[in-house]
Structure 1
Amino acid sequence: MDDLPPLPALITSLISDTEPESARKFAVFKLQHALGDPAYAERFRAAQGLLPLRHVVLTAVGNTQAYALGSLDALLELDVGWEAVDAEVIRKAVELAAGHPLINIVRNALLLLVLVVGRPLRHGGGREDGSAGEGMGFQALKPALELYPTFLESLVQRLSASDHMLCANALQLVNALMRDAVLHSGEHEWPRFIKRLQDLGVIGGVGMLMRGDAAADLQTPLAAAILEFQGLTKLLLRKWREVRVNVELPEHKRALKTIHLLSRPEPYHAPARASEHSESGGGAKGSRQHHPEKWRRLGFETESPAWEFDDTGYLGIMDLVDFARRNPDLYHKTLLEQAVLPPALRCPLARASLSVTLILYEHFEIDDDATLLERPDAAPYIHSAGNPEKIYRPLLLQWGRLHTAALTTLLRLWKVSGAQVDADFFKLEELVRIIVERIVGSATRRTEIAGVELALRNVGLEAARLWQMQGLDEVYEDAWGPLLGEVRDALKRESMAFMKEQRVRCLLAGAWFYAEPSASAELSGGDGRQWRYVCLSHNRKYLHHGLFASRGASDAAPPDVADLHEKLNLDAVTSVDSNVSAADPVPAPQDPASLYSSTHRNPSGPTKALSRLSTTSSVTTLRTHTRNSSTHPAPPSHHPPTTSQITILGLDPYASNDMNSSTSEAPLLTLHPPNPTLASEWLDGLLMLLHQQPITASTTQLVEMLVDWGLRLRMLNLRWEDVEWEALEARVKGEEVGGREVPGREGIEGEEFWYGVGGV
């Protein structure tokens, strides 16, 4: 501001006709930036500079006019200089914004109109009836808009301009007009104005801006304008919901009539009474009246449908009319299909449409953000931080198509599932709620509505039920997370103890393994194959084993312990080495009864008490080796026909008594399981005997299955009515809870009586 001339000279140059145009352009250019200082703006106003500035706005051209508009905008943003804004200035701004080719002039003209329209909100202005006063808000633009009827069309077209600031100013003006119309216009005026903007394509223009790269930065004016429009859309939806349906109003009556006529009702003639038939000589065919189920055939519960819109308001009737207009053939075909079904199997179309409206209303959280935009200080509706992919909701702008797609999904699932009205309507409604949450909720700002419609059209009943179960788990986890965590840990310990006992019983039962071929058998001309039988002693301290030339029949009795001449002391075992990988696909039994499949020869039967597994161990950590062709080549034909190998390592009893004898490790016994199931049982059984964790997939799957089943059984005892935390905790942990008293038979005559047990 140091290079600015004194205010009297500057003001004189604004209106002087003797000075060159370049001097006035330079003066107003400097003035535009200087007026950002409130002190300088007040001095400019005190020096009577408003009228000269207004003169430049009305008479100048080119960049001089753009700088003059920018200077006036700077004053108005400081709430200074409103006396210079009259009908002539507003008309000039509308004229420039409607068709001037220079972008900088159009930008400043649009910003001027934004400030004019938004003034009632900032000042809390307006009349007592809620309408804006003359010269304020949208009312100030009405005379100029009558002179330029194409202004709104050009304004919407500005949303697709390449200049981002121009797009932002145009969208800010759209927002200001919408907000002022909703908050200060009559209940019949603002819907018509909003409808006009939508017909001009404002939804498509804002949708393109949402998906564009320029909207990624949430700190820009364009992002603020987009988010404000998104919030205003919620405000409109809430306003439409708050409008009560009244069949006496022409517009509401017309909407209900549209729903009825698009159903293509057949002419109905009431049957003539017998007396009338006799008096007319049989010539009367009945008088034409309304069908007794005129509205119930459309899916309403009664013949007075107005009250059924209490929850959705006029928004519900708008969505139903929109569905019927978008899909007249589907609407008519659905009603015909439902008419031939028994009443219990018919899908109430109107009721389903209202349910979908409420589902979308709750999904987009309409009430949360719509309330903010009614406050004057909430105009800059900005999320300064967050993920743009989730903050922008372009699907909200496609409310009608989204409602149609969700309603079509509900009708399709109803037909596939064979649902009934009384028993299954709320279940299907909940399924659609979950589907909308999963598909629409996972959409980003770049997701096209066509892709969402396709996903809703292809989702099946099984997928929806799967999502429902997953959501139920999340709900229970949120409600009782800490308690379920404790129960899960306890069940994990019990399951591990149970699996340890089961695997050890497999070792107690004994099993046949392939053995290394003997040299004498190979020299005698045989194939050299031998079998080794191994079993755990009853005191669980020794592994008894012996070599046999043949395995014998499958139903033959296993060898007796007395016939096993070799034994291995488990105290000498330090680790187990195996090429059985933890990720090997080992078949896991699907039924708990099969856990005892390997213990059929154990006379002691299943264990009655589950021991607690110790997770600490002083022995050497298990070493596993992944099988591959380089480290484990295929064995020759005379070797055991299996790739699984379990090597039990321990202290070598034949080692010398030197200093390192206590730490030397040697293979004590090598086992070749004939199948993966036996390999899993014996490998994990040996590990658990050494107080180590099991590693095979089969044992891990069984433990997880036991934990999951146990947790679900505990959850069956939970009820949402259990608000007393002590009783809730007891139920989750499987403890006994005092039940309700069963009523007696005193005072009841006869034997036929019953009582209900609630909450079960």
Structure 2
Amino acid sequence: MDEPPDVATLVAGLQAESESARKYAVFKLKGLLGDPSFADAFIQADGLPSLRRAVLNTSGNTQAYALGSLDALLELDMGWECCDELVLEKALSLAISHPLVNIVRNALTLLVLVVSRPLTTGQQDGEEPMIGFRALKPALDSNPGFLESLVQRLSASDHTLCANALQLVNALMRDAVVYGGEQEWPKFIKRLQDLGVIGGVGMLMRGDAAGDVDSPLSSAIIEFQNLTKMLLRKWRDVMVNMELPEHKRALKTIHLLSNPDPYIPPQAVNGAKVRKHHPEKWRRLGFETESPAWEFDETGYLGMMDLVDYCRRNEDTYQKTLLEQSVLPREQRCPLARASLSVTLILYEHFEIDDSTSPDENQPNTYRNSLYERRIQNVDKLYKPLLLQWGRLHTAALNAFLRLWKDAGAEAEDFYKIEEVVRILVERIVGSAGRKTDVGKVEEKLRVVSLETARRWQMENLNEVYEDAWGLHLTEVRELLHAESLQFMKEQRVRCLLKGSWFPAGGQWRYVRLSHNRRWLHYQNFSKKKHEEVPLAELAEKIDLNAVTSVDSNVSAAEAPVNTNVMRNGNDSTETLKDSTRDSSNNKATTTKITILGTSSKPKDQEERILLELFPQTSPLASEWLDGLLMLLNQQPITKDTTSLIEMMEDWGVRLRMLNLRWEDVDWEALEISVKGDGEGGAAGREVPSREGLDEPYWYALPDEVGV
């Protein structure tokens, strides 16, 4: 392996007349200057003037190597004295039009390093050499096509060239925002946007090259995304001031685009002052008062920009909406301007603008030090291409706000409810979009999503939100509600047994009924089925439940569908369920069997045997009797019907507690109507016993009708 040439040899090569000698010298130099000790020796050997001449006077690969060598020095924060106006002018002109990619790449890197150079300790802002955007301003003034050329480089096929171009865009944006002044930086940003920088970066975000987590392009894209957030935050921090011509002009644009009717002021009476504009000039547009400047306090100038942008993008829709609102009572009108400001805040929170890194005004470009070392994990989640489509998202979300307001028949007091629904839409639709999702698809989803779907999403999110905030407490609440729901279902199932039911019994009909003290199971076979309850006195056979050891059945969870009518009829027996459930095709006669096992009442006969067999004709009847018997034996229910009802009551109990509903908030009159059954003796027909005159809780057992 050949020994690398020493410093003196390389400096002599740079000064040689031979093109091949200079080319060899800068080729070797580029690799060696990464060593700080060699770079220092090169400067001490007075090599900088020769390198500067190579940058200015050579061409082709020699010039590319010379630029690369100078870049290597600047990376070490050395050789800045080479970067005078001539060198910057040369780099700028090469970056605009040179056909060789390696020259353009190195020229752009040089410009990035100049713009990104931080202030050194003790150096004053106004001291030479000039850094940042100001250092390039003379060259930019003499090359007006540079910015357009720079933005076009974002679509180059060479990914390194794209990365270098985007790095320079980032550096110029950051430097302009930090040092450009309140009047200058917005103009510079708008100029970049007009040249298509948003579309160029969006294309890079969605491209396959951006998936390489180690590439400089990924770091440049993330940096541009952070700068976009910084700009949004900076615009929000600008307070609306009607003394500023630009702000006053923006508000006037909102008014004029609404196509207001000419206002003819009334005649003055007794010298009274006549109002020169319509008394509802601004409230007509959806502001709360006739002095709307303060209403932008939360959103700042960003909210005004969004509203102006909406009015311009959707002039016809804007005017039509205001016309439709004008004929409605005031409380039913959707305040468009207020809704627009709410959507701005929803997007601001969704993209976590305030959580992004703030620029360091003293060291505005320190990110450059780690630009190539950052490893970005899961770029599909880090990239937010929809952030760059802020205006279109704002328009789509505001149109969704207006549509949902109309669909819900909302009134003024419902504003925050609709606002929360729109927040859910943005979280679901915008939040679930991948980096390659086209903004048009997101707009379409926001346009067609229904109020019903949005409400369902809202309820689904409710559990997650409260689990995060009150996880431990909700676990305790769920455990308590589960026990309460289980006890309620036990009581309901047992009451079905107390009322009694008919079962086929080999050509006859068997009526089975639980005693009032819940200790005996009475039954009797009849030649035909009766349509009324059979008194316990007519049921000669009985089983002592203390002798029952187990209950077996061929009923499975899959065979017992959920029957919500059980829930509607509360404590009534199966006989009070709607006839439609009994007559459905799914509930026709089955071979379902429930076997009650136990021991004989004789002390000497303690072997387990079959005490009674029941053949329920329907799945709901099987669920009631099987789970009812199991619960009487202090065992857990097993059918899907019962367990699903327990889960439903538990779930709704949690939701009611999360929503903090009070007992008096429930519409009991409506609830009474909803629980009425078709059968006689339903829950709605029973009078709730009064406890008037009672001051202590008590329990009692009724004696059996046949004397046990």
TM-score w.r.t. structure 2 length? 0.83
Residue 554 of structure 1, aligned match among 502, 523, 531: 531
Partner residue of 1:82? 80
**Change in CA separation of 1:125 and 1:356 when aligned onto 2, cut-off 3 Å:** farther
Partner Cα distance (1:310, 1:540) in 2: 69
Partner Cα distance (2:528, 2:610) in 1: 25
1:576 correspondence with 2:552 = yes
**Change in CA separation of 1:583 and 1:457 when aligned onto 2, cut-off 3 Å:** farther
**Change in CA separation of 1:536 and 1:290 when aligned onto 2, cut-off 3 Å:** closer
Residue 426 of structure 2, aligned match among 436, 447, 452: 436
Aligned partners of 1:500 and 1:685 also within 8 Å: yes
Letter in 1 for 2:644: Q
Unaligned residue ranges in structure 1 (runs of 5+): 277-285, 518-528, 601-639, 720-760
**Change in CA separation of 1:256 and 1:493 when aligned onto 2, cut-off 3 Å:** closer
Partner Cα distance (1:491, 1:344) in 2: 40
Partner Cα distance (1:427, 1:488) in 2: 27
SS at the partner of 2:552? strand
Higher helix share: 2
Aligned partners of 2:500 and 2:573 also within 8 Å: no
Partner Cα distance (2:15, 2:382) in 1: 49
SS at the partner of 2:557? coil
**Change in CA separation of 1:711 and 1:338 when aligned onto 2, cut-off 3 Å:** closer
Residue 646 of structure 2, aligned match among 703, 721, 731: 703
SS at the partner of 2:565? coil
Partner Cα distance (2:120, 2:377) in 1: 27
Letter in 2 for 1:83: E
Partner Cα distance (2:217, 2:289) in 1: 49
**Change in CA separation of 1:580 and 1:121 when aligned onto 2, cut-off 3 Å:** same
**Residues 574-595 of structure 1: per-residue CA shift (max 9 Å, x gap):** 5513143346314133646423
**Change in CA separation of 1:299 and 1:47 when aligned onto 2, cut-off 3 Å:** same
1:271 correspondence with 2:239 = no
Residue 532 of structure 1, aligned match among 510, 523, 536: 510
SS at the partner of 2:571? helix
1:196 correspondence with 2:191 = yes
Residue 627 of structure 2, aligned match among 684, 691, 711: 684
Aligned partners of 1:234 and 1:366 also within 8 Å: yes
**Residues 333-357 of structure 1: per-residue CA shift (max 9 Å, x gap):** 2222233333333333222222222
CA shift, 1:651, in A, is: 8.2
**Change in CA separation of 1:152 and 1:122 when aligned onto 2, cut-off 3 Å:** farther
**Alignment size in residue pairs:** 645
Q: Mean alpha-carbon deviation: is it higher for 43-52 or for 212-221?
A: 212-221
Residue 306 of structure 1, aligned match among 279, 286, 293: 293
Partner Cα distance (1:448, 1:133) in 2: 47
Partner residue of 2:302? 315
Partner residue of 2:591? 643
**Residues 116-152 of structure 1: per-residue CA shift (max 9 Å, x gap):** 1111467796637xxx977321122222223332221
Partner residue of 1:217? 212
Residue 488 of structure 2, aligned match among 498, 519, 532: 498
**Change in CA separation of 1:122 and 1:444 when aligned onto 2, cut-off 3 Å:** farther
**Change in CA separation of 1:499 and 1:354 when aligned onto 2, cut-off 3 Å:** closer
Letter in 2 for 1:230: Q
Partner Cα distance (1:310, 1:124) in 2: 39
Quote the sequence identity (%).
Answer: 62
CA shift, 1:426, in A, is: 3.0
Partner residue of 1:609? none
Partner residue of 2:401? 410
Partner Cα distance (1:496, 1:137) in 2: 71
> Map of 1:146-545 to 2, 5 A cutoff?
146-273=141-268, 289-372=276-359, 376=364, 377-379=366-368, 384-421=375-412, 423-515=413-505, 517=506, 529-536=507-514, 545=523
**Residues 35-68 of structure 1: per-residue CA shift (max 9 Å, x gap):** 1111211111111111212222222222222222
Partner Cα distance (1:532, 1:60) in 2: 110
Aligned partners of 1:133 and 1:139 also within 8 Å: no
Q: Mean alpha-carbon deviation: is it higher for 38-47 or for 245-254?
A: 245-254
**Change in CA separation of 1:715 and 1:153 when aligned onto 2, cut-off 3 Å:** closer
TM-score w.r.t. structure 1 length? 0.77
Partner Cα distance (1:689, 1:291) in 2: 76
Partner residue of 1:91? 89
Partner residue of 1:588? 564
Letter in 2 for 1:402: L
> Map of 1:63-78 to 2, 5 A cutoff?
63-78=61-76
1:674 correspondence with 2:642 = no
Partner Cα distance (1:70, 1:49) in 2: 15
Aligned partners of 1:680 and 1:699 also within 8 Å: yes
